[in-house]
A and B are shown apart, each in its own frame.
Chain A
Amino acid sequence: GEDVEQSLFLSVREGDSSVINCTYTDSSSTYLYWYKQEPGAGLQLLTYIFSNMDMKQDQRLTVLLNKKDKHLSLRIADTQTGDSAIYFCAEKDSSASKIIFGSGTRLSIRP
């Protein structure tokens, strides 16, 4: 079945860029997503990218999609303490309404 994998932890220094990586197996993925979960809260949709795009930028966030390698990344520029959270990569194909989530990457910020 479909699978989404991402590393569990990432630690970056405040002010640096964070890059969170994700790989997926479903070659028919249509949409790919990044969600953010702050402690004790639900997940919040940060951004999404359609599979015919290579890149999407939204303020400090840049999403890169390599469809050939089935690799998705999220870059957060000028990382701040408020960016501390768990980031989930997810994908969906056009035939389904169900989204497949990765296990989440916990981003911690060092002063």
Chain B
Amino acid sequence: DVKVTQSSRYLVKRTGEKVFLECVQDMDHENMFWYRQDPGLGLRLIYFSYDVKMKEKGDIPEGYSVSREKKERFSLILESASTNQTSMYLCASSLSTGHGGYTFGSGTRLTVV
């Protein structure tokens, strides 16, 4: 069964910590995306990548960075976690051909205390 795997389901970190959220897909998808989801704000795109070592800013990149060293893995980095980064983080991937619909991971609920 093809899928997108996020390394942690729940994470609690302290303010100021560097946080890594990992995402791995086994579908050989070119495109990968990181979103955060907050009540009343819907899905907001943080960063995305169309290829290995490529990255593009989404709508809310401030306070985040990403790394894509291998095609199957897309990491989201919170350089210095803050309480306003407490959220549900969703990773997704897609093909560049066909209907291009995303496959999502199960999400990581991050709490920064």
Contact = CB atoms under 8 A, between A and B. Distances in A.
A101 B44 CA distance: 9
B107 A99 contact: no
B29 to A, nearest CB: 10
B21 to A, nearest CB: 13
Given A103-B42, A104-B42, A97 B99 contact: no
A41 B101 contact: no
B43 A101 contact: yes
B48 interface: yes
B65 to A, nearest CB: 19
Contacts of A50: 99
Given A31-B99, A48-B101, A98-B45, A41 B50 contact: no
Interface size bracket, A side? 20 to 34
Interface residues of B, number: 24
Interface in A75-97: 88, 92, 97
A35 B100 CA distance: 13
Nearest to B10: A40
A31 B94 contact: no
Report whether over half of chain A's contact residues are helix, strand or loop; otherwise say mixed: strand
Nearest to A43: B104
B60 to A, nearest CB: 14
B103 interface: yes
Contacts of A33: 99, 101
B48 A98 contact: yes
Contacts of A42: 4, 90, 92, 104-107
Nearest to B101: A45
A41 B90 CA distance: 9
Interface of B: 4, 30-31, 33, 41-43, 45, 48, 50, 90, 92, 94, 96, 99-107, 109
Give the top 7 A-B pairs by smallest Cβ distance, nearest first: A42-B104, A103-B42, A43-B104, A97-B31, A101-B43, A42-B106, A45-B101
